[in-house]
RNA sequence: GCCGCCUUAGCUCAGUCGGCUAGAGCGACGCACUCGUAAUGCGUAGGUCGUCGGUUCGAUUCCGACAGGCGGCUCCA
């Protein structure tokens, strides 16, 4: 497809594609061409001069985007055929699919999607062509779109639209796409910058996924439209593969696995977004915390502790009140003071710093704790362990001189990455969140922001990792660098954050005595490695699909006697493992051996140690690993050493035979 | 917070077009079985059908509010 193609003046791209004998059907069909400026053009585009173009096939990333956007048009046509009063919003392609927003009297019901799909099938089969038409003037466009208020708004704000999701307008001209049926009649049309497939017939496989409300142009202040999400693929097999991928993600859902593996729950009686950890989830959480605490201490952090509530003055000093008052739990009044549950740990760490005079010799001073924080997240955003109202941050604050800041940030980034790798995540990119100069949410001077942003950016660039900009995403007190980690099935999660803070040291009057005897203000660097223990645990459940590495597994070894009377033998083996700190138990239930294996398999226990007459008489056990592989008749000493070694090594793969 | 959908046993789910003792599988418990790599058989217990209110002779079923969940949107220091 990279072979260049020349469209002769006065002929269409389709002519050139046909002359070159390129496919016009199936997943390799050429659906648009890319002109020398990189712009995608419809096949009926006819340049004024000879133009070299690149043909774009349906199954390429560009081709799929065109397919998905054209499918969105088919959806919109189906909706307006079924609900004539529906007004059109926008309908872009997105990752793996598309959506289209509609203003309708009544929100779509689940069975509406089935009806709309059927209608769409008819449109696809009828082989409508998409025909581009340019408006001569703004007035002409407005006249034609008089009955589409949202489109009119887009025409009016055309100049300001800077959003890749708004496909309607853009580029130099204002264009419209008509759908023409086989008889040459115009059956539908939409304001759109294109491009589109030559025909609806080229839509091989699509599915409507769900409907949901969405604010017009993404603002809470605007009315809500009804959005329909769909997916479209270059072949039925690709669609099937996509559905399999979704099923795989569902299989890994930590909320489901949390119940199945008895790790945690969210009792209604406690409240939304407030998890409790059951013994097995507690084991994983404790292992994580123990390891992370030990690593922090190795890296020069000092472990501290702070209370969960504070008088409000502290949060005024820090600047969190009133900025974030509505995301903090309301205060309780006691003895004339208002106490808030803490939503962040930094103010308390500042007080530890300030508890006595500090010397430049102490810097960098690094304070760390698992700090419990409570945030009143809006009810609609709570999601399993990844978005909760009470959680423990693995929160640290480094107090450094301005000169030390770049080195400290580099140190923190390396530390963060190594910790994530220790837990089996090793595919990262960085995001740099900067302030939005338009917003009044951010405090501090332009110069301060500039310096801080530059420091983070330099370290990020130096790391060699991919860096993505996130304008406007900074904390109110300073810019933020975050590590995004990809899990086993390619989803990205925001984990660690490193933030440069020039605000709080001043607000708290933090200082240190410099070598020259003067008092100087330190810079404060916030960092959280996992963001929150709860979220990270949730991510790990999904990453490993519940099959935790041996060092994290709640139960590491289960002994399975072949007959009941082999239980005592295995109990002795398990007792020896326990003395080595291994979490081992014997399944003494009355189930048959096969059933015990099934149970252990479902609990995703890394080691099954099976013993029957042969093993008892030979002084051995037989391992069955989680992946079904086996190692039979292993002498007890060797078996214990083997388990201990796998656990101690903290390997994140296997075990296997 | 907004929109839609949902809430029946520990879990997953049937069911009740408003009416008599609300069902199943898994799990739990008991009994029998004693078995070499993913479900032995039989039996028992377990539900004020999310909560509160309304309509009705009668509500798990219809209506409303609230709580919780799910999918999005917005948000995520």
- A398/A477 same-domain check: yes
- Distance in angstroms: CA A379, C1' B53: 24
Q: Is A346 a known active-site residue?
A: yes
A427 and A291 in a single domain? The answer is: yes
A642 is an active site residue: no
A129 located within any domain? yes
Residue nearest to nucleotide B31 (CA to C1'): A590
> What is the CA A302 to C1' B59 distance in angstroms?
62
> Is A128 among the residues known to form the active site?
no
Asked whether residue A322 falls in the same domain as residue A412, the answer is yes
Task: Determine the pLDDT at residue A489.
Answer: 83
> Whats the size of chain A, residue-wise?
657
Residue A419 domain flag:
yes
The span from the CA of A523 to the CA of A517, in Å, is: 18
Nucleotide nearest to A387 (CA to C1'): B76
DSSP letters, A348-407, are HHHHHHHTS--BGGGPSEEEEEEEEEE----GGG-BTTTB-SEEEEEEEEEEE-TTTHHH
Q: Which of A526, A566, A604, A624 is catalytic?
A: A526
Q: Say yes or no: A276 and A385 in one domain.
A: yes
Domain boundary among A516, A543, A570: A543
Choice among A69, A227, A358, A480 that is catalytic? A480
- From the alpha carbon of A378, which nucleotide's C1' atom is closest? B1
Decide which of A200, A216, A245 is a domain's last residue. A245
Q: Is the Cβ atom of A212 within 7 Å of strand B at any atom?
A: yes
Catalytic residue among A395, A487, A587, A615: A395
Q: Is residue A657 part of a domain?
A: no
Pairing relationship of beta strands A557-561 and A607-611 according to DSSP bridges? parallel
Q: Total domain count for chain A?
A: 4
Measured from Cα to the C1' atom, the residue closest to B72 is A212
- State whether the beta carbon of A381 lies below 7 angstroms from any atom of strand B: yes
For position A1, what pLDDT does the model report? 44
Please name the nucleotide lying closest to A562, CA to C1'.
B36
Query: Which of the following is catalytic: A34, A254, A389, A397?
Result: A397
Radius of gyration of chain A (CA): 31
The answer to whether residues A452 and A304 belong to one domain is yes
The residues facing A30 across adjacent strands are: A57
Chain B bases near protein CB atoms (7 A cut-off): 1-5, 11-12, 27-29, 31-40, 67-77
- What is the rounded CA–CA span in Å between residue A652 and residue A518? 50
At residue A421, the pLDDT reads 93
Q: Are residues A48 and A68 in the same domain?
A: no
Residue A616 is part of a domain; what is its CATH number?
A: 3.40.50.800
CATH of the domain at A474: 3.30.930.10
Residue A548 forms part of a structural domain: no
A174 touches strand B (CB under 7 A): no
C-alpha distances out from residue A119 to A67, A115, A124, A539, Å: 18, 6, 9, 40
ipTM over the 0.85 cut-off: yes
Are residues A534 and A586 in contact, defined by beta-carbon separation less than 8 angstroms? no
- CATH classification of the domain holding A212: 3.30.980.10
Identify whether A552 is part of a domain.
Answer: no
Q: Which two tokens stand for residue A339?
A: 């106490």
Q: How many Cβ atoms from other residues are within 10 Å of residue A520's Cβ?
A: 17
- Tell me the CA–C1' distance in angstroms for A594 and B41: 15
> In terms of residue numbers, what domain contains A635?
557-648
Do A536 and A579 lie in one domain? The reply is: no
Chain A residues 220 to 249 whose Cβ lies within 7 Å of strand B are: 220, 224, 226-227, 229
Strand B atom within 7 Å of A342 CB: no
Q: Are residues A509 and A578 in the same domain?
A: no
Residue A253 counted as domain residue = no
Residue at minimum CA to C1' distance from nucleotide B30: A590
| A101 and A44 within one domain | no
**How far, in Å, is the CA of A260 from the C1' of nucleotide B36?**
28
Q: Tell me the C-alpha distance between A228 and A554, whole Å.
A: 42
The three-point CA angle A298-A302-A305 to 5° equals 135
Same domain, A281 and A316: yes
Per the listing, tokens 């001043």 go with A506
Alpha-carbon distance of A267 to A385, in angstroms, equals: 13
Q: Which nucleotide is nearest to A597 (CA to C1')?
A: B38
| A657 CA from B71 C1′ (Å) | 42
Q: Distances from the Cα of A643 to the Cαs of A279, A551, A620, A631, A636, in angstroms?
A: 22, 10, 14, 12, 11
What is the C-alpha separation between A409 and A429, in angstroms, rounded? 16
The question of whether A207 is a catalytic residue gets the answer: no
Judgement on whether residues A207 and A279 belong to the same structural domain of the protein: no
Last residue of a domain, one of A543, A566, A593: A543
List, run by run, the mean pLDDT of 10-residue segments along chain A (657 residues).
74 86 87 88 87 90 94 94 91 92 87 88 92 85 88 76 59 82 89 89 92 88 91 93 89 91 89 91 94 94 94 90 84 90 93 94 94 90 91 94 92 93 92 82 82 89 88 84 88 88 91 93 93 92 94 95 91 94 93 93 95 92 93 94 95 85
Give the pLDDT score at A283: 94
> From the candidates A77, A226, A393, A404, which is the catalytic residue?
A393
Q: Judge if A502 and A611 occupy the same domain.
A: no
Residue A340 has a pLDDT of 92
Can A375 be counted among the known catalytic residues? yes
Residue A6 phi, psi (nearest 5): -110, 125
A273 touches strand B (CB under 7 A): yes
Q: Is residue A549 part of a domain?
A: no
A565 touches strand B (CB under 7 A): yes
The C-alpha atoms of residue A249 and residue A253 are separated, in whole angstroms, by 6
Residue A250 domain-assigned (yes or no): no
Place of tokens 């900067």: A434
Distance CA A227, CA A217 (A): 12
| Residues 588-647/A with CB < 7 A to strand B | 589-595, 597-598, 601-602, 608, 610-615, 622, 624, 628, 630, 632-633
């Amino acid at each position: 497809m990279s072979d260049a193609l020349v469209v002769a003046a006065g002929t269409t791209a389709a002519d050139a594609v046909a002359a070159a004998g390129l496919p016009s059907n199936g997943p390799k069909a050429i659906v648009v061409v890319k002109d020398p400026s990189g712009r995608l053009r419809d096949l009926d585009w006819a340049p004024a001069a000879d133009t070299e173009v690149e043909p774009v096939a349906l199954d390429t990333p560009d081709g799929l985007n065109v397919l998905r956007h054209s499918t969105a048009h088919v959806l919109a046509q189906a909706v307006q055929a079924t609900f004539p009063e529906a007004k059109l919003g926008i309908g872009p392609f997105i990752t793996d699919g598309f959506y289209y927003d509609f203003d309708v009297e009544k929100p779509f019901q689940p069975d509406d999607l089935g009806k709309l799909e059927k209608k769409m099938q008819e449109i696809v089969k009828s082989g409508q062509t998409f025909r581009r038409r340019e408006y001569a003037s703004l007035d002409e466009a407005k006249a034609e779109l008089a009955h589409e208020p949202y489109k009119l708004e887009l025409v009016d704000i055309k100049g300001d639209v800077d959003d890749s999701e708004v496909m309607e307008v853009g580029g130099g001209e204002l264009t419209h796409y008509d759908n023409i049926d086989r008889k040459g009649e115009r059956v539908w049309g939409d304001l759109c910058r294109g491009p589109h497939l030559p025909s609806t017939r080229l839509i091989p496989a699509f599915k409507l996924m769900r409907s949901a409300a969405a604010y017009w142009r993404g603002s809470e202040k605007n009315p809500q439209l009804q959005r329909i999400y769909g997916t479209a693929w270059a072949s039925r097999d690709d669609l099937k593969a996509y559905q399999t991928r979704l099923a795989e993600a569902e299989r890994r859902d930590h909320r489901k696995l949390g119940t199945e593996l008895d790790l945690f729950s969210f009792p209604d009686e406690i409240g939304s977004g407030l998890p409790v950890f059951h013994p097995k989830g507690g084991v994983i959480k404790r292992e994580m915390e123990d390891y992370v605490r030990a690593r922090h201490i190795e890296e020069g952090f000092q472990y501290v502790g702070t209370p969960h509530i504070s008088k409000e003055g502290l949060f005024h000093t820090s600047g969190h009140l009133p900025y974030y008052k509505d995301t903090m739990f309301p205060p309780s009044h006691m003895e004339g003071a208002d106490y808030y549950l803490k939503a962040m740990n930094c103010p308390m760490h500042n007080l530890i710093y300030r508890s006595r005079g500090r010397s430049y010799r102490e810097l960098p001073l690094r304070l760390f704790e698992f700090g419990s924080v409570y945030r009143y997240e809006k009810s609609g955003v709570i999601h399993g362990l990844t978005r909760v109202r009470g959680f423990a941050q693995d929160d640290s604050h480094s107090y450094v001189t301005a000169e030390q800041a770049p080195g400290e940030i580099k140190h923190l980034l390396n530390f963060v990455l190594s910790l994530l790798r220790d837990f089996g995540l090793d595919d990262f990119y960085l995001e740099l969140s900067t302030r939005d100069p338009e917003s009044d949410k951010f405090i501090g001077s332009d110069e301060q922001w500039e310096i801080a942003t530059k420091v983070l950016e330099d370290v990020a660039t130096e790391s060699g990792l991919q860096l993505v900009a996130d304008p406007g995403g900074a904390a109110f007190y300073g810019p933020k660098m975050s590590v995004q980690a990809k899990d086993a099935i390619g989803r990205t999660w925001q984990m660690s954050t490193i933030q440069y803070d020039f605000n709080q040291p001043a607000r708290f009057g933090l200082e240190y005595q410099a070598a020259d005897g003067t008092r100087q203000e330190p810079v404060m660097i916030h960092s959280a490695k996992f963001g929150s223990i709860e979220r990270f645990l949730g991510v790990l459940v999904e990453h490993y699909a519940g099959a935790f590495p041996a060092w994290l597994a709640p139960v590491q070894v289960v002994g399975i006697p072949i007959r009941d009377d082999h239980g005592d033998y295995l109990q002795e083996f398990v007792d020896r493992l326990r003395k080595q700190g291994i979490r081992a138990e014997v399944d003494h239930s009355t189930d048959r051996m096969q059933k015990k294996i099934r149970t252990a398999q479902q609990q995703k226990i890394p080691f099954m140690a099976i013993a029957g007459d042969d093993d008892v008489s030979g002084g051995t056990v037989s391992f069955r690993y989680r992946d079904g592989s086996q190692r039979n008749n292993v002498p007890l000493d060797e078996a214990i050493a083997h388990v201990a070694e796998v656990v101690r090594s903290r390997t994140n793969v296997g075990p296997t035979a």
